[in-house]
Amino acid sequence: MNEDSLKSRAVPVLVPMPAERPYSYLVPEHMSVQPGSIVRVPLGPREVAGIVWDTAVDQVDPRKLRPISQVFDCPLIDAKTRRFVDWVASYTLSPPGMVARMLLRAPEAFDPQPWTEALKRTERLPDRMTAARERVLEMAADGLAWTRSGLAHAAGVSSTVVEGLKAQGVFETVMVPPRPVVAEPDPSYGRAELTGDQAAAAETLREQAEGGIFGVTLIDGVTGSGKTEVYFEAVAAAIKRGHQVLILLPEIALTQAFLDRFHDRFGTKPAEWHSDLPPRMREKVWRQVAEGTVRVVAGARSALFLPFNDLGLIVVDEEHDPAYKQEDRVFYNARDMAVVRAHIGGFPVVLASATPSVESRVNAEQGRYARAVLPGRFADAALPHLATIDMRRAPPARGGFLSPVLLAKMRETLERKEQSLLFLNRRGYAPLTLCRVCGHRFGCPVCSSWLVEHRFRGQLVCHHCGHTEKRPEACPECGTLDHLVACGPGVERIAEEVVAHFPDARTIVLSSDMLGGVKRLRLELEAISKGEADIVIGTQLVAKGHNFPNMTLVGVVDADLGLANGDPRAAERTFQLLSQVTGRAGRTGKKSLGLLQTFQPDHPVMRAIVSGDSEAFYDREITEREKAHLPPFGRLAGIIVSAATRPEAESHARGLRKAAPDSRDIHVLGPAEAPLALLNGRHRFRLLVQGEKRSDMQAYIKALLAAGPKIRGSVRVQVDIDPQSF
């Protein structure tokens, strides 16, 4: 803070609101604050918590300013974290206040947690020794502080015995800080003997972690190759150097198995951070992360905004996972922002995946990231044998969706008392349209995307450019009439079919809309692991990370489904998802099989999965992206306009399009209906901004928004830099 601001005693405070800049507040006479202090300030009729910021204070008459009402007794938000907030705000074009809001999500934690009373042994001896007293003294001989009841319980005596000793001065009262949520991890606790490939990969990571400088390493290894084991080495190295570590995981449901795994390696669990954490626990974790008591956090994407003061490593597991993208308020990709946080902090990042994102692959190929490859499963556990089922040749029985080939394999699996998984990814997209006779799918004439059927309007629509056509009666490819079918079944319909075929099998259905919360999901997953189900039918919830020892058959009901969601990234996503799903089979070395039901067995994705040749697939994908100037070879952003009514949203979106400034390296497409045209009762349109790699998208979009129509009525405009689907 400079001299002037000290004199005027006014400071900028960033409040957790959609504020473009910090507001100025007066510092009362007796109060002392500095950048990073968490303070309580009046805002309109209420009070909120904010952070004292680094920017200059606005030139305002100090008499008009309101005073800070309280400084919390809380560790400072350090300079690196503050820079990170500013960086995320300017990159995502979000108000810095909204980014700060993500950082301040544990309000009770700003006040210190109360210390508790405990007893500690003094030099004094009791006037008279009894057997009970002797036991108490034995327990307390370690010199540690005990709670009264804890000591009595441990010694197996009543608390009056302890009380009596205290009255004689044998114990004194001390105040002890709140208990850490997790114990100190031990970097050498359960270290595994690494294989040659693993050791080489671990060496790459360890060098970086020990060097303590910024760098990104991509661990690229098939499911079960030991990626986790390898990045644990980097975690151990960072802990040894006394740093904090953040491990990001895409799915909370996965965390349980992961926590146990971590415990085996480090002798304690990491602290957890996700939206299902009870509020009291959130506060404790937040506080202890700020204080440095918590050394390792395993968390969902929001853990990236915890107040670490000494972060030395971030691991992003399953780095390709779409769950890292937040598309609400502040639109950000936690994988990318993790790299930013590490860059600002000057420490390494590890990205791990069996199916890296095209972006990370390209970064590795171009030398920006180091790459460590693990080519085979640990202990030579065989990957499942993979094959396609051509649904044109082996169609299901009338009204069904499971081909006879798959049903026969399911029967064999049941007879061997092993488990099957049927996977069907039904996301909330409108159905696609295909010709049952020739397999033709409707694509956009001007984009590399599929047309999505809008049934009520009887139209086929491109979500990329807005192209619309009437749904025809006949297939334009083979001319057959009335054989166009819309979409496949959902998991429940598959379950019905399974029960009809296998009435005695124990069947479990898992999909996000049927969940009785995370608890139920965890129980179900555990039950499946223990072999308490014969056939599991699930959406992508079951695809990730789980280890089901007895699962030897994976059937993908509609392997084509993800290819038809109107998005050029569809091939990459489908490849990733199918690899992951089929990777659930044969984790413990039993012979296993993965079957993909498809209408297009020759599609490059199916060929890549069946042949196991992912290199060829990536090469092709990367070449196509480069040709089309799509990320990572070009830049993209979405501008989403939403409103209570369709005309309002559409007219505002058109107004923005008209206002788009001319530019040589950036152009604007649309507006078209957004991929989710109606969301929470709001109608959404989207403009796509496409630019050359070196273009300044943020500056361009700011100018566009400034030149566009005034925001009126129910209209809201949201910028999505690096959108997931495009």
Binding site for Zn ion (CB under 5 A): 444, 446-447, 462, 464-465, 467
- Amino acid identity, residue 283? E
Which structure tokens are listed for 244?
Answer: 């904090």
Residue 487 annotated in ligand binding: no
Options 65-73, 223-231, 334-342, 519-527: segment touching ligand ADP (CB under 6 A): 223-231
221 binds ligand ADP (CB under 6 A): yes
Please choose which of ligand ADP, Zn ion, none residue 193 contacts, taking the beta carbon within 5 to 8 angstroms, the exact cut-off set by kind: ligand ADP
* Nearest to 608, CA basis, from 584, 565, 577, 567: 577
In 224-325, which ranges are continuous DSSP H helix? 227-240, 252-266, 279-291
Q: How far is the CB of 467 from Zn ion (least distance, A)?
A: 4
Give the residue with the Cβ less far from Zn ion, 464 or 625.
Answer: 464
Query: Distance (Å, rounded) from C-alpha 661 to C-alpha 567?
Result: 26
Output the CA–CA distances (angstroms, integers) from residue 41 to 14, 20, 54, in the order listed: 10, 17, 17
Which structure tokens are listed for 500?
Answer: 């009809």
Burial class (CB in 10 A: 0-12, 13-18, 19+), 680: exposed
Give the residue with the Cβ less far from ligand ADP, 227 or 463.
Answer: 227
Query: Distance (Å, rounded) from C-alpha 518 to C-alpha 507?
Result: 19
Q: How far is the CB of 341 from ligand ADP (least distance, A)?
A: 23
Using CB under 6 A, pick the residue from 24, 37, 81, 228 that binds ligand ADP: 228
Query: Distance (Å, rounded) from C-alpha 502 to C-alpha 104?
Result: 52
582 binds ligand ADP (CB under 6 A): no
Using CB under 6 A, pick the residue from 22, 50, 215, 226 that binds ligand ADP: 226
Q: How far is the CB of 469 from Zn ion (least distance, A)?
A: 11
Please choose which of Zn ion, ligand ADP, none residue 248 contacts, taking the beta carbon within 5 to 8 angstroms, the exact cut-off set by kind: none
Output the CA–CA distances (angstroms, integers) from residue 400 to 76, 494, 499, 522, in the order listed: 61, 8, 12, 30
Q: How far is the CB of 378 from ligand ADP (least distance, A)?
A: 4
Is 725 within 8 Å of 568 (Cβ atoms)? Answer: no
229 binds ligand ADP (CB under 6 A): yes
Residue 14 CA to chain centroid, in angstroms?
Answer: 26
Query: Could you identify the residue written with the tokens 């995370």?
Result: 518
- Amino acid identity, residue 23? Y
Q: How far is the CB of 186 from ligand ADP (least distance, A)?
A: 18
Give the residue with the Cβ less far from Zn ion, 203 or 624.
Answer: 624
Is 98 within 8 Å of 718 (Cβ atoms)? Answer: no
Which structure tokens are listed for 245?
Answer: 């570590």
Residues 6+ apart with CB under 8 A from 177: 113, 115
227 binds ligand ADP (CB under 6 A): yes
Q: How far is the CB of 664 from Zn ion (least distance, A)?
A: 24
Q: How far is the CB of 401 from Zn ion (least distance, A)?
A: 29
Please choose which of Zn ion, ligand ADP, none residue 579 contacts, taking the beta carbon within 5 to 8 angstroms, the exact cut-off set by kind: none
Please choose which of ligand ADP, Zn ion, none residue 378 contacts, taking the beta carbon within 5 to 8 angstroms, the exact cut-off set by kind: ligand ADP
**What are 219's strand-pairing partners?**
352, 372
Please choose which of Zn ion, ligand ADP, none residue 467 contacts, taking the beta carbon within 5 to 8 angstroms, the exact cut-off set by kind: Zn ion
Query: Could you identify the residue written with the tokens 């990536």?
Result: 618
Please choose which of Zn ion, ligand ADP, none residue 407 contacts, taking the beta carbon within 5 to 8 angstroms, the exact cut-off set by kind: none
Residue 462 annotated in ligand binding: yes
- Amino acid identity, residue 383? L
Please choose which of ligand ADP, Zn ion, none residue 251 contacts, taking the beta carbon within 5 to 8 angstroms, the exact cut-off set by kind: none
Using CB under 6 A, pick the residue from 24, 37, 94, 198 that binds ligand ADP: 198
Please choose which of ligand ADP, Zn ion, none residue 465 contacts, taking the beta carbon within 5 to 8 angstroms, the exact cut-off set by kind: Zn ion
- Amino acid identity, residue 665? D
Q: How far is the CB of 243 from ligand ADP (least distance, A)?
A: 22
Give the residue with the Cβ less far from ligand ADP, 466 or 589.
Answer: 589
Whether cis (ω within 30° of 0) applies to the bond prior to 671 is yes
CA-based angle 513:514:516, to the nearest 5? 110
Q: How far is the CB of 226 from ligand ADP (least distance, A)?
A: 3
Q: Tell me the three state secondary structure of residue 275.
A: coil
* Nearest to 207, CA basis, from 322, 331, 38, 348: 348
Burial class (CB in 10 A: 0-12, 13-18, 19+), 437: middle
Please choose which of ligand ADP, Zn ion, none residue 223 contacts, taking the beta carbon within 5 to 8 angstroms, the exact cut-off set by kind: ligand ADP
Residue 478 annotated in ligand binding: yes
Please choose which of ligand ADP, Zn ion, none residue 36 contacts, taking the beta carbon within 5 to 8 angstroms, the exact cut-off set by kind: none
Is 548 within 8 Å of 414 (Cβ atoms)? Answer: no
Give the residue with the Cβ less far from ligand ADP, 260 or 613.
Answer: 260
Give the residue with the Cβ less far from ligand ADP, 226 or 322.
Answer: 226
244 binds ligand ADP (CB under 6 A): no
Whether cis (ω within 30° of 0) applies to the bond prior to 395 is no
Give the residue with the Cβ less far from ligand ADP, 251 or 720.
Answer: 251
Residues 6+ apart with CB under 8 A from 694: 665
Which structure tokens are listed for 415?
Answer: 């007879």
Is 655 within 8 Å of 661 (Cβ atoms)? Answer: no
Whether cis (ω within 30° of 0) applies to the bond prior to 45 is no
Options 20-28, 225-233, 235-243, 661-669: segment touching ligand ADP (CB under 6 A): 225-233
| 375-414 residues near ligand ADP, rule: CB under 6 A | 378
Options 71-79, 173-181, 222-230, 688-696: segment touching ligand ADP (CB under 6 A): 222-230
Q: Nearest 5°: phi and psi at 159?
A: -75, -15
Q: Nearest 5°: phi and psi at 294?
A: -85, 125
| 157-196 residues near ligand ADP, rule: CB under 6 A | 192-195
Query: Distance (Å, rounded) from C-alpha 529 to C-alpha 548?
Result: 5
HSE-CB for 616 with a 13 A CA cutoff? 11
Give the residue with the Cβ less far from Zn ion, 451 or 660.
Answer: 451
Using CB under 6 A, pick the residue from 24, 92, 204, 225 that binds ligand ADP: 225
Q: Which H or E element spans position 538? A: strand 535-538
Which structure tokens are listed for 65?
Answer: 């300013």
Using CB under 6 A, pick the residue from 204, 208, 223, 718 that binds ligand ADP: 223
Q: How far is the CB of 462 from Zn ion (least distance, A)?
A: 3
Q: How far is the CB of 344 from ligand ADP (least distance, A)?
A: 28
Q: How far is the CB of 198 from ligand ADP (least distance, A)?
A: 5
Please choose which of Zn ion, ligand ADP, none residue 444 contacts, taking the beta carbon within 5 to 8 angstroms, the exact cut-off set by kind: Zn ion
Using CB under 6 A, pick the residue from 36, 96, 97, 224 that binds ligand ADP: 224
Options 79-87, 217-225, 430-438, 497-505: segment touching ligand ADP (CB under 6 A): 217-225
Please choose which of Zn ion, ligand ADP, none residue 194 contacts, taking the beta carbon within 5 to 8 angstroms, the exact cut-off set by kind: ligand ADP
Residue 438 annotated in ligand binding: yes
Query: Distance (Å, rounded) from C-alpha 659 to C-alpha 655?
Result: 6
Burial class (CB in 10 A: 0-12, 13-18, 19+), 3: exposed
Q: How far is the CB of 110 from Zn ion (least distance, A)?
A: 50
Query: Distance (Å, rounded) from C-alpha 67 to C-alpha 63?
Result: 10
Residue 74 annotated in ligand binding: no
Q: How many residues line the site for ligand ADP (CB under 6 A)? A: 14
Q: Binding site membership: which residues?
A: 435, 438, 444, 447, 462, 465, 475, 478
Which residues make up the interface to ligand ADP (CB under 6 A)? 192-195, 198, 221, 223-229, 378
Residues that constitute the known binding site for Zn(2+) = 435, 438, 444, 447, 462, 465, 475, 478
